[in-house]
Amino acid sequence: MPDLETQILSLLSKKTYQPLKPKALAHKLGVPTSKYADFRRALRSLLQDGRVQLGKNQTVRFTPPHGTVTGTYRRAGTGNGFVRPHAIDGKAGPEVLIREGNSLDASTGDEVLVRVTRKPTRPDGIPSGEVIRVLTRATRQFVGAYFEREGQGLVRVDGNVFAHSIYVGDPGAKGARPDDKVVFEMLRFPSPEERGEGVITEILGPRGQPGVDTLSVIRALGLPDAFSEDALAEARAAADVFDENDLSDREDFTGDVVVTIDPVDARDFDDAISVTLDPRSKHWQLCVHIADVGHFAPPGGALDREARRRATSVYLPQRVIPMFPEIISNSLASLQQGKVRYVKSVVMDFTPTGQRTSARFANGAIRVRQRFAYEQVSAILLAEEGSPAPEKVEPEVLQLLHRMRDLAMILRKRRLKRGALELVMPEAELEYDEQGKVSGAHFAKHDVSHQVVEEFMLAANEAVAAHLDSLEVPFLRRVHPAPEPTKLQAFADFCDSLGYTIDSHLDRFALQRVLRESADQPDVYAVHYALLRSLKQAVYSPIDEGHYALASDNYCHFTSPIRRYPDLTVHRQIGQWVRTGRAGSDEGEMTALGEHCSKMERRAEMAERELIKVRILNYLSERLGLELEVIITGVADYGFFAQAETLPVEGMVHISTLTDDYYYFDEKTHSLIGRRSKRRYRLGDKVKAKVVRVDLQRRQLDFRVVEERIPQKNPKGPKKPPRD
């Protein structure tokens, strides 16, 4: 036993050690299967003594020396960096400032070991530190624009990841031409003393050529855009044997009136709905049918391995990178109109007031009666209120849509009554010309048709989570932890400065009241943006922490297994329970899987944001001087950030451009305030600004205020739960 502890510590102390999970660590040490239990006991002893710890993805590593922390490094545009410490027991310390020159050769996303300065050197109390070791590289693959200078080939990396260009060899390496976008592998990371060095691995094409921007983002973030041959072969084999008329061991719902409601340009359809109402008791029955993609992707197979690695589909402008091959996602598992399709069904009964009285689960089969787009359903449901007559639909289907609306509004009212939070956040959608270039934008709608689908999916997710919770089995919950009390207190203080009183900052109903009262006021953005900044991010985890924004004790994602791997894991557990009356899982594996899926989700969101930003910056680079209404989304001592109201892109107004007065930063009210004029630029305010600079390479946008803040009207943005 002590022998194994010594071996573990010896391996972990080596500079060449890369963090491994327990099984991989045992394999590395040559521990035979017969001795694995002894290895686990030795490792548990070291963990209890605090001599080693579990880091990201449940990997084993040394406990950092006193006065140090491990965390994720990110470089800011100023040259300084910040390290966000890893959470221990669910709690993470404050970010650590890493001044330029103290970062070694760390780059954004790297896991690093930091020596923390004992006394914070900044007035905001943020501690400073220095990177003493890079533990794990986030990536060695980067994308940038190739150019030549003084007989050398160089790449200026996209964004602000590195301050200087990277040497990639002699001119014309791999056929690269100046202004080509290229992918390169980093051989030696740049440091304050030395320029980095890399080797070109792929040429994407001339900068500005159609499609190159999409490929650049895909390569920069390491998105898998091609499926393995064995996964494609497994998908083809599934198609060969699929018989939609084989309903053995499945509940037959094909005679029910079932519809789908999706975006007009949807490519896959993974949820369908049916609602009935008992005319005598006035009790409701809601059936939510979700594509049974797990039927075609058994655990451990090639399709499963590919989906697990990807963890999510990625939705880019004008392109989708699916989690499953199109044979599965757009055909076999997609709930297409008129086709018999396999589903996992949640059948829920509700009282007239919307209280769920029962829920049962089944492996089912359905035939969708009609596919609807959101716009069609909205037109039908609003027709009674004087809208133009909608298209003709079957009487049975029309009656179903009205029942759906009525039940959804009952469930929505009940959800708000329990304290669910809804933010007014305008969301713009890009418009494109025939060449695929951005030509404008419009506000996304979030009307009654969206609310109907939203309420039913929430109901199904809660029913599934409550059932698995009752079985006391670990499963991947969708967790949204409660905000830090200090952040809620800061939010309450901010609201007080606007004239909104919050008696108790920990009272969600007080928060809900302020959101409701401000929804139709000029300072709506100020309140709603401020609360959004106070909330934590939702993650996947088996830890039971509830979903704060939804005010839900038990919540998981079940309704989109075609595009989210966590949903597929929940499907499998429900399927196991339907077959055997039991369901099981390993909590450690679920924890690691949750971390992986959360990480891949963030990567997908980043890819979407980055490509949208690239396209809008290209659009604005040809429109310098364009005046826009912008909303202030962040305030600092050096200026403020603002997002164009009709374009989802953020730019900066530097404090040096506010020349009408001397402005100082008031942290409590998230404002820049003029000393003489008392003019205020505050989080959530709307001002008119013009585009003065676009840096396509660094993906930066600068605004300049052209007049005092403009009167605010009730925004057209939807009221909806914070995006989780």
Residues 158 and 294 in one domain: no
- What sections of 274-323 are H helices per DSSP? 302-310
What's the domain count of the chain? 6
Q: Does residue 240 form part of some domain? A: no
**Which of 366, 375, 173 is closest to 272 using CA atoms?**
366
Domain co-membership, 462 together with 489: no
- Report, as ranges of residue numbers, the positions in the chain whose pLDDT lies below 70: 1-2, 15, 49-50, 56, 87-92, 118-125, 384-390, 707-724
- Give me the amino acid identity at 214: T
The whole-angstrom separation of Cα 350 and Cα 354 is 5
DSSP string over 32-52: -GGGHHHHHHHHHHHHHHTSE
Please give the pLDDT value at position 115: 86
Residue 558, classed as helix, strand or coil, is: coil
Strand partners, 316: 319
> What are φ and ψ of residue 638, in 5° steps?
-105, 0
Same domain (yes/no): 57, 72: no
* Same domain flag for 315 and 361: yes
Whether residue 349 is contained in a domain is answered as: yes
The residue written with tokens 């022998």 in the block is: 3
Residue 607 belongs to some domain of the structure: no
Please tell me the distance from the alpha carbon of residue 225 to that of residue 322, in angstroms, as a whole number.
8
* Domain enclosing residue 315, as ranges: 249-420+431-472
How do 96-98 and 128-136 pair as beta strands? parallel
Distance CA 524, CA 526 (A): 5
End-to-end CA distance of the chain: 45
Cβ neighbors of 472 (< 8 A, separation 6 or more) are none
Instruction: Say yes or no: 322 and 354 in one domain.
Output: yes
CATH number at residue 38: 1.10.10.10
Q: How far is CA 562 from CA 144, 311, 315, in A?
A: 33, 10, 13
For 564, the token pair is 């989210």
Q: Residue 403: exposed, middle, or buried by beta-carbon count in 10 A (0-12, 13-18, 19+)?
A: middle
Considering the domain architecture, whether residues 179 and 295 belong to the same structural domain is answered as: no
Q: How far is residue 151's CA from residue 252's CA, in Å, rounded to a whole number?
A: 71
Q: Do 388 and 416 fall within a single domain?
A: yes
The Cα–Cα gap between 287 and 400 comes to 12
What pLDDT sits at residue 717? 45
User: Tokens 């209120």 appear where?
Assistant: 385
Is 673 within a domain? yes
- Cross-strand partners of 643: 631, 650
Inside any domain, residue 611: no
CA distances to 121, 293, 308 from 230, in Å: 55, 18, 15
Structure tokens at 445: 């709608």
**Do 58 and 72 share a domain, yes or no?**
no
* Location of structure tokens 């693959």: 141
- Give the per-residue pLDDT at 49: 67
| The pLDDT value given to residue 384 | 65
- Sequence-separated (6 or more) residues with CB below 8 Å from residue 220: 141, 142, 143, 158, 610
Cα 622 to the center of its chain, rounded Å: 31
- The CATH number of whichever domain residue 716 belongs to comes to 2.40.50.140
In single-letter form, the type of residue at position 375 comes to: E
In this structure, are 278 and 415 located in the same domain? yes
Q: What is the CATH number of the domain that holds 147?
A: 2.40.50.700
Residue 363 lies in a domain: yes
In a domain, 549, yes or no: no
Q: How many residues does the chain have?
A: 724
- Residue 397 counted as domain residue: yes
Distance of alpha carbon 682 from alpha carbon 523, whole angstroms: 10
Looking at the fold, whether 33 and 101 belong to one and the same domain comes out as no
Amino acid sitting at position 109: G
- Strands 671-674, 663-666: pairing is antiparallel
Same domain, 406 and 384: yes
The answer to whether 505 touches 491, Cβ cutoff 8 Å, is yes
Same domain, 258 and 378: yes
| Residue 570 near residue 468, CB atoms below 8 Å | yes
Last residue of a domain, one of 62, 78, 108: 62
